[in-house]
Amino acid sequence: MAPVRNVVAELLDWLRELPDCVLGPGLSAAELDRAEGAVGVTIPPLWRAVLARACPVARAGSGAHYPDWRLIDEPAVRALVDAPVRGLLFDVEHNDFWWHAWGAAPEPMAERLSLARRRLAEVPRLTPLRHHWYVGPEDDSPVFSIVQADLYVPALSLADLPTGRSQRAVPTRQWPIGSVPFWSELHAYAQLGHHPELGFAQLGRGGL
């Protein structure tokens, strides 16, 4: 019988090896609950277990961005949480990005941004891990690298962060990767939407 993976320990080892990260003391359940409520995210159970053991923070002078779940700088955490939506709104305004499921794009830009903002308020809020890496509320969510409407999956799940299994491990015929509403499809569109025969071009336009 194969040994059972201690995924929390593996994730902690993975964090220790990151050159821009140091591990601080773990957080209590009350601290994690407070952070979730303050910034409106649901941290996946596996990542909560990691944070209960140790909290990753940016190494001094690295310029890295890790969420401060103790909320010493709550606006900075909120900015990380809001960054994916903020980047998409930037692409709506400046790069002709539009998600067809939102309906027809209004011509006045103010109305277009207002509609996009309302639609994006309905999608899951993602938990920031580090820099522009995010995860949905469930342990089996892919890890998404998100810069505006450009998405990549560097890990198929939190448990795959130490293994290096990325989107390349999944044939494109089996995409979208994961089932995170909107974000899994946006990833497929970002990577494959310019190939009409792969079936994702109809999801959106622009922003890439």
Alpha carbon dihedral 177, 53, 130, 152, in 10-degree steps, equals: -10
Is the four-CA dihedral 67, 148, 154, 185 of positive or negative sign? Answer: positive
Q: Which helix (H) or strand (E) holds 115?
A: helix 109-120
Specify the pTM.
0.94
How far apart CA 60 and CA 35 sit, in angstroms, is 23
Look at residue 200 in the predicted model and tell me its pLDDT: 93
Q: Write out the chain's pLDDT in tens, 208 residues.
A: 344 569 999 999 999 999 999 999 999 999 999 999 999 999 999 999 999 999 999 999 888 899 999 999 999 999 999 999 999 999 999 999 999 999 999 999 999 999 999 999 999 999 999 999 999 999 999 999 999 999 999 999 999 999 999 999 999 999 999 999 999 999 999 999 988 777 899 999 987 7
Tokens linked to 126: 């993602």
Question: Which pLDDT score is estimated for 1?
Answer: 38
Residue 121 in contact with residue 93, Cβ under 8 Å? no
